[in-house]
Structures are given as C-alpha cells and as structure tokens.
C-alpha cells in the first residue's frame, strides 16, 4: 500500500469524523421514535449536540495552528459529552 493512500487529505478521512457521522445518523434515526412531546426539547438538543460534534471536527481540521485545531476538537468533545 502506498503511503499517499493513508494520508489524511480532508476532514472526512478522519476516523473521529467518520465515527461521529455514524453517530449523527444513529441519533436522528433513534430520536424519530421519541414521543412527539419531546420533539422540541430533548430531541432537538440531542440532534444539535451530535451535529456540533462533526461540525467542530470539520472546522478544527481546516485550522492551521495546533492551538486553533485543539480548540475546535475540545468543543467537539464537549458536544459529545453533552449528548
């Protein structure tokens, strides 16, 4: 296997983003089963948190400095904890 094949070129190549995206799909699917009365409370909060996870991984990936990258990755981790 060529070393270039393993190189991370875009945020979707990150294992953390890939697993986060699976979690997004899982949360959306499972929250469809929640009662209607929860639609504007816990369901919306869970969906926002899980989307924030992958969004912050993507945004952190685009940053140049390690300090900025770490800031967004920490926010992503906090979104996971919130979920």
The 10s digit of each residue's pLDDT in 43-59 is 999 999 999 999 999 99
Q: Identify whether 46 is part of a domain.
A: yes
Q: Identify whether 19 is part of a domain.
A: yes
Number of structural domains found in the chain: 1
CATH number of 73's domain: 1.20.1440.60
Residue 67: give the domain boundaries.
14-82
Q: Identify whether 51 is part of a domain.
A: yes
Helices marked H in 1-83: 3-6, 15-31, 44-62, 66-82
Q: Identify whether 78 is part of a domain.
A: yes
The per-residue pLDDT of the chain, averaged, comes to: 93
* CA–CA gap between residue 19 and residue 35 (Å, rounded): 27
The pLDDT score that the predictor gives to residue 37 is 87
The pLDDT score that the predictor gives to residue 3 is 61
The pLDDT score that the predictor gives to residue 4 is 66
The pLDDT score that the predictor gives to residue 71 is 98
């Amino acid at each position: 296997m060529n070393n270039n094949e393993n190189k991370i070129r875009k945020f979707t190549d990150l294992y953390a983003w890939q697993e986060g995206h699976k979690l997004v799909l899982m949360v959306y699917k499972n929250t469809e089963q929640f009662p209607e009365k929860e639609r504007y409370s816990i369901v919306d909060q869970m969906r926002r948190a899980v989307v924030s996870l992958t969004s912050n991984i993507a945004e952190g990936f685009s940053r140049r400095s390690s300090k900025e990258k770490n800031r967004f990755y920490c926010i992503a981790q906090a979104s996971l904890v919130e979920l």
